[in-house]
Amino acid sequence: MRKLIIIAVLTAILFPGSTTRAYSAVLDSQFIYEQVKKDIITQLKQDHDREIEVNIKSLPYHSLKVPAEKVRVITDIGNLNSISIVKVSLYVDEAKIKTFGVRAKIKIKDNVWVAKDRIRRGDTLKNLKMEKKEISSPLDKLPGKSFNPGEYIARRTIKPGDIVELNDIEPIPTIFKSSPVSVIFKTPTVSVTIPCIAVTSGKTGDFIKVKSKIYNRNYVGKIIGKNLVLVNI
Protein backbone atom coordinates (compact mmCIF):
# COMPACT_ATOMS: atom_id res chain seq x y z
CA MET A 1 0.00 0.00 0.00
CA ARG A 2 1.65 3.20 -1.18
CA LYS A 3 -0.53 6.18 -0.35
CA LEU A 4 0.51 9.74 0.46
CA ILE A 5 -1.39 11.26 3.35
CA ILE A 6 -1.21 14.93 4.21
CA ILE A 7 -0.92 14.74 7.97
CA ALA A 8 -0.63 18.40 8.96
CA VAL A 9 -0.75 21.91 7.63
CA LEU A 10 1.17 24.04 10.09
CA THR A 11 0.95 27.74 10.79
CA ALA A 12 4.62 28.47 11.36
CA ILE A 13 5.82 29.94 14.63
CA LEU A 14 7.40 33.21 13.59
CA PHE A 15 10.35 34.93 15.15
CA PRO A 16 12.61 37.77 13.97
CA GLY A 17 15.32 36.73 11.51
CA SER A 18 18.08 38.61 9.71
CA THR A 19 17.59 41.97 8.01
CA THR A 20 17.75 40.25 4.60
CA ARG A 21 15.19 37.54 5.46
CA ALA A 22 11.93 38.38 7.18
CA TYR A 23 11.21 35.30 9.30
CA SER A 24 11.92 31.60 9.86
CA ALA A 25 9.93 28.82 11.51
CA VAL A 26 11.11 26.15 13.93
CA LEU A 27 9.39 22.76 13.68
CA ASP A 28 9.56 20.74 16.87
CA SER A 29 10.28 17.02 16.32
CA GLN A 30 7.83 16.04 19.05
CA PHE A 31 5.02 17.74 17.15
CA ILE A 32 5.92 15.85 13.97
CA TYR A 33 6.15 12.65 16.01
CA GLU A 34 2.63 13.09 17.36
CA GLN A 35 1.16 14.02 13.97
CA VAL A 36 2.73 11.03 12.21
CA LYS A 37 1.43 8.73 14.94
CA LYS A 38 -2.05 10.24 14.90
CA ASP A 39 -2.50 10.01 11.17
CA ILE A 40 -1.15 6.47 10.87
CA ILE A 41 -3.85 5.46 13.36
CA THR A 42 -6.52 7.45 11.48
CA GLN A 43 -5.52 5.88 8.17
CA LEU A 44 -5.47 2.30 9.45
CA LYS A 45 -8.74 2.57 11.34
CA GLN A 46 -10.76 3.82 8.38
CA ASP A 47 -14.25 2.32 8.95
CA HIS A 48 -12.96 -0.52 11.11
CA ASP A 49 -13.09 -0.89 14.88
CA ARG A 50 -9.39 -1.65 15.10
CA GLU A 51 -7.13 -1.33 18.10
CA ILE A 52 -3.95 0.31 16.82
CA GLU A 53 -0.76 1.04 18.68
CA VAL A 54 1.97 3.07 16.97
CA ASN A 55 5.40 3.76 18.33
CA ILE A 56 7.71 5.98 16.26
CA LYS A 57 11.15 4.63 17.09
CA SER A 58 13.14 7.77 16.35
CA LEU A 59 13.28 11.04 14.42
CA PRO A 60 16.57 12.21 12.91
CA TYR A 61 16.03 15.84 14.04
CA HIS A 62 15.33 17.52 17.39
CA SER A 63 14.11 20.59 15.52
CA LEU A 64 14.08 21.95 12.00
CA LYS A 65 14.33 25.54 10.85
CA VAL A 66 12.46 26.24 7.63
CA PRO A 67 11.21 29.34 5.80
CA ALA A 68 8.17 30.73 7.60
CA GLU A 69 5.74 29.85 4.86
CA LYS A 70 2.91 27.33 4.71
CA VAL A 71 4.46 24.04 5.77
CA ARG A 72 3.07 20.60 4.97
CA VAL A 73 4.20 17.32 6.50
CA ILE A 74 3.50 14.36 4.21
CA THR A 75 4.05 10.69 5.05
CA ASP A 76 4.25 7.59 2.90
CA ILE A 77 3.72 4.42 4.94
CA GLY A 78 4.74 2.11 2.09
CA ASN A 79 4.40 -1.61 2.78
CA LEU A 80 2.68 -2.05 6.13
CA ASN A 81 4.41 -4.49 8.44
CA SER A 82 4.87 -4.83 12.20
CA ILE A 83 7.95 -2.62 11.71
CA SER A 84 7.43 -0.17 8.86
CA ILE A 85 9.73 2.43 7.39
CA VAL A 86 7.63 5.58 7.08
CA LYS A 87 8.85 8.22 4.66
CA VAL A 88 8.32 11.77 5.95
CA SER A 89 8.55 14.74 3.60
CA LEU A 90 8.39 18.44 4.46
CA TYR A 91 7.04 20.87 1.89
CA VAL A 92 7.14 24.67 1.90
CA ASP A 93 4.97 26.33 -0.72
CA GLU A 94 4.74 23.02 -2.63
CA ALA A 95 8.55 22.66 -2.73
CA LYS A 96 10.01 19.64 -0.97
CA ILE A 97 12.75 20.77 1.43
CA LYS A 98 13.35 17.68 3.58
CA THR A 99 12.76 13.94 3.27
CA PHE A 100 13.71 11.38 5.88
CA GLY A 101 12.63 7.96 7.09
CA VAL A 102 11.43 6.87 10.50
CA ARG A 103 10.90 3.39 11.88
CA ALA A 104 7.40 2.83 13.19
CA LYS A 105 6.38 -0.18 15.24
CA ILE A 106 2.72 -0.82 14.45
CA LYS A 107 0.44 -3.27 16.28
CA ILE A 108 -3.06 -3.85 14.96
CA LYS A 109 -5.91 -5.83 16.50
CA ASP A 110 -9.03 -6.32 14.43
CA ASN A 111 -11.97 -8.67 13.98
CA VAL A 112 -10.76 -11.30 11.52
CA TRP A 113 -12.00 -14.63 10.20
CA VAL A 114 -10.47 -17.54 12.12
CA ALA A 115 -10.76 -21.29 11.52
CA LYS A 116 -12.68 -23.04 14.33
CA ASP A 117 -11.63 -26.50 13.18
CA ARG A 118 -9.25 -27.90 10.57
CA ILE A 119 -10.36 -27.00 7.06
CA ARG A 120 -8.92 -29.24 4.39
CA ARG A 121 -8.00 -28.17 0.90
CA GLY A 122 -11.13 -28.02 -1.27
CA ASP A 123 -13.52 -27.81 1.71
CA THR A 124 -16.08 -25.02 1.93
CA LEU A 125 -15.46 -22.41 4.62
CA LYS A 126 -18.17 -23.44 7.07
CA ASN A 127 -16.03 -23.68 10.19
CA LEU A 128 -15.09 -20.01 10.56
CA LYS A 129 -15.71 -17.47 13.32
CA MET A 130 -15.00 -13.78 13.82
CA GLU A 131 -12.40 -13.08 16.50
CA LYS A 132 -10.34 -10.04 17.50
CA LYS A 133 -6.69 -10.95 17.04
CA GLU A 134 -3.38 -9.21 16.47
CA ILE A 135 -2.66 -8.99 12.76
CA SER A 136 0.83 -9.67 11.47
CA SER A 137 0.01 -9.85 7.75
CA PRO A 138 -0.44 -6.78 5.53
CA LEU A 139 -4.08 -5.66 5.62
CA ASP A 140 -4.55 -6.08 1.86
CA LYS A 141 -3.98 -9.83 2.30
CA LEU A 142 -7.09 -10.19 4.49
CA PRO A 143 -10.69 -10.60 3.27
CA GLY A 144 -12.58 -7.29 3.13
CA LYS A 145 -15.95 -6.27 4.53
CA SER A 146 -17.92 -7.87 1.69
CA PHE A 147 -16.34 -11.29 2.27
CA ASN A 148 -18.89 -14.12 2.38
CA PRO A 149 -17.32 -17.41 3.58
CA GLY A 150 -20.10 -19.43 1.94
CA GLU A 151 -18.84 -18.43 -1.50
CA TYR A 152 -15.30 -19.79 -1.03
CA ILE A 153 -13.34 -23.00 -0.55
CA ALA A 154 -9.93 -23.59 0.97
CA ARG A 155 -6.95 -23.51 -1.37
CA ARG A 156 -4.78 -25.17 1.27
CA THR A 157 -5.30 -26.83 4.65
CA ILE A 158 -6.12 -24.22 7.31
CA LYS A 159 -5.36 -25.17 10.92
CA PRO A 160 -7.63 -24.37 13.89
CA GLY A 161 -6.98 -20.82 15.11
CA ASP A 162 -5.38 -19.65 11.85
CA ILE A 163 -6.42 -16.28 10.48
CA VAL A 164 -7.87 -16.76 6.99
CA GLU A 165 -5.98 -14.83 4.31
CA LEU A 166 -6.90 -14.26 0.68
CA ASN A 167 -4.16 -16.56 -0.60
CA ASP A 168 -5.68 -19.39 1.51
CA ILE A 169 -8.99 -19.36 -0.34
CA GLU A 170 -10.62 -19.25 -3.76
CA PRO A 171 -14.19 -18.87 -5.06
CA ILE A 172 -16.30 -22.01 -5.15
CA PRO A 173 -15.98 -23.45 -8.68
CA THR A 174 -18.99 -23.56 -10.96
CA ILE A 175 -17.72 -26.99 -12.02
CA PHE A 176 -15.72 -29.31 -9.78
CA LYS A 177 -13.05 -31.72 -10.93
CA SER A 178 -14.44 -35.22 -11.71
CA SER A 179 -18.03 -33.96 -11.89
CA PRO A 180 -20.26 -34.83 -14.88
CA VAL A 181 -20.76 -32.01 -17.38
CA SER A 182 -22.60 -31.42 -20.63
CA VAL A 183 -20.26 -30.26 -23.36
CA ILE A 184 -21.60 -28.34 -26.33
CA PHE A 185 -19.52 -28.74 -29.49
CA LYS A 186 -20.42 -25.81 -31.70
CA THR A 187 -19.64 -24.85 -35.28
CA PRO A 188 -21.03 -21.86 -37.23
CA THR A 189 -23.85 -24.07 -38.53
CA VAL A 190 -24.47 -26.87 -36.02
CA SER A 191 -24.03 -27.82 -32.37
CA VAL A 192 -23.88 -31.21 -30.65
CA THR A 193 -24.03 -31.93 -26.91
CA ILE A 194 -22.36 -34.96 -25.31
CA PRO A 195 -21.73 -36.03 -21.69
CA CYS A 196 -18.20 -35.65 -20.37
CA ILE A 197 -16.26 -35.59 -17.11
CA ALA A 198 -14.48 -32.48 -15.86
CA VAL A 199 -10.73 -33.08 -15.64
CA THR A 200 -10.14 -29.74 -13.89
CA SER A 201 -12.24 -27.33 -11.80
CA GLY A 202 -13.22 -23.79 -12.74
CA LYS A 203 -15.74 -20.98 -12.44
CA THR A 204 -17.94 -19.40 -15.10
CA GLY A 205 -15.74 -17.88 -17.81
CA ASP A 206 -12.77 -20.17 -17.13
CA PHE A 207 -11.43 -22.67 -19.65
CA ILE A 208 -11.20 -26.21 -18.29
CA LYS A 209 -10.26 -29.62 -19.58
CA VAL A 210 -13.01 -32.23 -20.01
CA LYS A 211 -12.89 -35.88 -21.08
CA SER A 212 -15.31 -37.87 -23.19
CA LYS A 213 -15.48 -41.50 -22.10
CA ILE A 214 -17.36 -42.30 -25.29
CA TYR A 215 -14.57 -41.10 -27.56
CA ASN A 216 -11.75 -41.42 -25.00
CA ARG A 217 -10.55 -37.91 -25.82
CA ASN A 218 -9.80 -34.71 -23.89
CA TYR A 219 -11.15 -31.30 -24.91
CA VAL A 220 -10.71 -27.76 -23.63
CA GLY A 221 -13.82 -25.63 -23.33
CA LYS A 222 -15.23 -22.56 -21.64
CA ILE A 223 -17.58 -22.82 -18.67
CA ILE A 224 -20.81 -21.04 -19.63
CA GLY A 225 -23.06 -22.25 -16.82
CA LYS A 226 -23.69 -24.84 -14.12
CA ASN A 227 -22.15 -28.10 -15.43
CA LEU A 228 -22.17 -26.64 -18.94
CA VAL A 229 -19.05 -26.27 -21.12
CA LEU A 230 -18.76 -24.83 -24.64
CA VAL A 231 -16.17 -26.10 -27.13
CA ASN A 232 -15.95 -24.12 -30.35
CA ILE A 233 -14.72 -26.21 -33.28
According to the model, what pLDDT value does residue 167 have?
A: 92
Check which CATH number belongs to the domain holding 40 and give it.
3.10.129
142 and 216 in a single domain? The answer is no
Of residues 144 and 155, more confidently modeled:
155
Check which CATH number belongs to the domain holding 156 and give it.
3.90.1210.10
pLDDT for 83-112, tens place per residue?
A: 788 888 878 877 888 888 888 888 888 889
Instruction: For residues 59 and 87, give the distance between their C-alpha atoms in angstroms, rounded to a whole number.
Output: 11
**Mean pLDDT lowest among 66-75, 99-108, 151-160, 198-207:** 66-75
Last residue of a domain, one of 90, 107, 124: 107
Last residue of a domain, one of 107, 128, 158: 107
Per-position DSSP letters for 168-204, written without gaps between them: GEEEPPSB-TT-EEEEEEE-SS-EEEEEEEESS-B-T
Instruction: Look at the chain and report how many structural domains it folds into.
Output: 3
Check which CATH number belongs to the domain holding 201 and give it.
2.30.30.760
According to the model, what pLDDT value does residue 122 have?
A: 86
10 and 81 in a single domain? The answer is yes
State which H helix or E strand residue 13 sits in: none
123 and 217 in a single domain? The answer is no
**Beta carbons within 10 angstroms of residue 86's beta carbon:** 21
- pLDDT surpassing 80 at residue 21: no
Q: What percent of the chain has pLDDT over 90?
A: 37
Instruction: For residues 66 and 12, give the distance between their C-alpha atoms in angstroms, rounded to a whole number.
Output: 9
pTM of the full structure: 0.61
- Domain containing 202 equals 180-232
